[in-house]
Amino acid sequence: MPNPDHICVGAIAGSFGVQGEVRLKSFCTDPEAIASYGPLFTEDGQTSYKIKLTKPVAGGLGARISGVETKEQADALKGVSLYVDKKKLPNLPDDEFYHADLIGLAVFDTGGAELGRVQAVHNHGAGDLIEVAGPGLKTSLLLPFTLAAVPTVDLTAGRIIIDPPEGLE
């Protein structure tokens, strides 16, 4: 189970060039901000990397990573997700949330019936979708993460209230 205080801010998409540079995929709103959060670490927290951006490249950012000096070392890191301690990230406005804060929240409908829990947050390019699963649902429910479909997010109480469009329940 990943540490809830750690947020995934990017991933290594492969090597770039022959000098050990990597192609970095940033999940930050401002992609280049990934380099400003200090050392980034692997999901298990065992390995940390200092990141120095070099130049934009196709499909991401070119970067030098501490301890990586050859193409082979860079290739070996392909697919590694990079995390930062949530305390190092900027505070969000009241109507924005980190995906990690939503996962696991209890989900209720507007009538107060518990439907399940948030299993995941997906984004396939047209906005965030929350995936809700629970014993009362035949299959996972995918809802647009909009004010209309999700009118209430209460992180303190650990719950959200959904108002699914007709036919989705």
Q: Three-class SS of residue 113?
A: coil
Q: Which CATH architecture has domain 99-162?
A: Roll (2.30)
Where do the structural domains in the chain lie, given as residue ranges? 6-88, 99-162
pLDDT at residue 54 tops 80 = yes
Of 139, 122, 134, 130, residue with least CA distance to 164 = 130
124 has pLDDT over 80: no
Structure tokens at 80: 């590694």
Tell me which architecture the domain covering 6-88 has in CATH: Beta Barrel (2.40)
Longest distance between any two alpha carbons in the chain, whole Å: 59
Q: What percent of the chain has pLDDT over 70?
A: 95
Q: Could you tell me how far CA 127 lies from the centroid of its own chain?
A: 13
Confidence class for position 29, pLDDT limits 50, 70, 90: confident
Report the distance separating Cα 99 and Cα 83, nearest Å.
Answer: 13
pLDDT at 74 over 70: yes
Confidence of residue 68 (pLDDT cuts 50, 70, 90): very high
DSSP state, residue 133? E
Q: Nearest-5° angle of CA 41, CA 42, CA 46?
A: 85
In this prediction the pTM is 0.67
Percentage of residues in the chain with pLDDT exceeding 90? 36
